[in-house]
Chains A and B, each alone.
Chain A
Amino acid sequence: MFALRGIAVSLTFFVLVYCLLSALVALAWRSLKLLHTTERRLTDLFFALRVLPLAASIVVTLVFVVPSFQLLEPRSMNVEEGIGAMPLALGLCALLLIACGCWRVIAAQAQTSRVVAGWLEGAHRLQVDAAAWTQSHTVTFRSRREAPPLTLVGLRKPAVLVSESTIALLTPDELRVALKHELAHVRSRDNLKKLIFRLCPFPGMAKLEDAWSQAAELAADDASVSSLNDAVDLAAALVKLSRLIPVESAPVCTVGFVTGSISARVARLLAWNEDEAGRARQTRMRPWHAIPPVLVVLLCVTAAYGPVLALTHEMTEWLVR
């Protein structure tokens, strides 16, 4: 019973923190749009904000709730204490939430695999100069005419699918820069991020995901363009491929080239400026930039760990009663 009570209390904390943070994120994410920063950084911030509720609730549960229950909850030998109605109900809600998240991930992955297998029927390796621009671990396929014009698929072994119509329609320069755009998505692991979004369901997050998607497209545009010629070629490719109406809708875990607001992307590309692009590259966020804030948080947590555990346990007691 002690273990069951511990699990119920931990799940209760998990679901409470998750819902509270998700509601806050759903209300407050629009303020990020006011930031004057690069699209790459904005994409990272949108992603961080979207997964913050899940990450924070897991950390709070594992770092504070479980140890506080283990260390501070008295194990009474004589009197058997019940789980309590509220932890039981909220614990079930947490289990439902976790099951829903897992189901969404599995369903999205299964649907993507099924659809991509159809697109790959009769496909073969791309044998054009533009393929040389792709990284060695990314395979570029020439797929059927009805497949989406240009799509990135796969998580572990990403592949770029280029339809026959796309090859017929684009010039070699346009195809090269369009492939570079898709490779920018590979480097950012955008397919994986889309799958992670499925893991954390909460109503009202669709607009944040749309904003992330639009920012990710703009960031990939920025990463693929290194001159005004490239920018014009990419804009031309975008307009040409927008005219191809896809027969099937793209599944979740794929990134299509023709996504987001086409007019906004074209206007932005035609106004491409070398100085601004250079500044954007200089201000790019690197993974090691996160080390100082993480260290500060770790120090604070270590210094105040005892009192925080005691406080968490008090809250646990309040919940059980």
Chain B
Amino acid sequence: MRLMMTKAFSIFGSSSRPRLGPLEQRLLQALWARGSATVRELLADDNIHQAYTTVMTTVDRLYKKGLLSRVEEGRAFRYTPRHTPEELQRVTALESIRQLLGSGDASALPLSYLVEALSAHDAQLLDALQLLVERKRQELHSRQAKILESAARQKTPPERR
């Protein structure tokens, strides 16, 4: 998931949605895992070894970026992610594609890159399908060979000593 997030936010870093830093990504991931949390609860997570004020500032930044919502709980805030990882990836991808298509004078150029990327994806899918077909064919051949072998054994009379 971290890889997915890094990809989602680092490829098109100069977008209107700012790039997420490593701590921001870790905190967002911890919040997705927990559903919602206060800063103190996040600090209880083994992956986050930061000072209380650092974590507080970072989640506040995520809140200001519109990625978290918060409600008051005593003297602290309870933070909840506004999007699921899939939603966030989709929004980021759409935003990135929109920027890509809108960038530069030669609008056909980014489109050709997009087609190239999609073709590469298709080729991967076809490779996977071909592998499945080959496996099935091998399985079928070995099954047929076994049947022929057993038929041949039944026909041959047992050797007499």
Interface residues of A (CB under 8 A from B): 228-229, 232, 235-236, 239-240, 242-243, 245, 262-263, 266-267, 270
Contacts and interface: CB of A to CB of B under 8 A. Distances in A.
Max chain A C-beta neighbours (<10 A), residue from B119, B126, B129? B129
Contacts of B125: 263
Interface string B106-136: 0000000000000100110110011011001
Given A235-B133, A236-B133, A270-B132, A229 B140 contact: yes
Nearest to B137: A232
Nearest to B123: A243
Nearest to A231: B136
Query: Which 6 A-B residue pairs are closest in the complex by CB-CB distance?
Result: A236-B133, A239-B129, A239-B130, A235-B133, A270-B136, A266-B129
A242 B137 CA distance: 19
A232 B136 contact: yes
Contacts of B132: 235, 266-267, 270
Contacts of B126: 239, 242-243, 262
A229 B137 CA distance: 8
Interface of B: 119, 122-123, 125-126, 129-130, 132-133, 136-137, 140
A245 B126 CA distance: 13
Contacts of A267: 132
Contacts of B123: 243
A253 to B, nearest CB: 27
A297 to B, nearest CB: 46
Given A228-B140, A239-B133, 8 more contacts: A235-B129, A239-B130, A242-B126, A243-B126, A263-B129, A266-B129, A266-B132, A267-B132
16 contacts: A228-B140, A229-B140, A232-B133, A232-B140, A235-B132, A235-B133, A236-B137, A239-B133, A242-B126, A243-B123, A245-B119, A262-B129, A263-B125, A263-B129, A266-B133, A270-B132
A267 to B, nearest CB: 8
Contacts of B140: 228-229, 232
A161 B155 CA distance: 47
Contacts of A229: 140
A252 B126 CA distance: 26
Contacts of A243: 123, 126
A245 B130 CA distance: 17
Nearest to A262: B129
Contacts of A240: 130
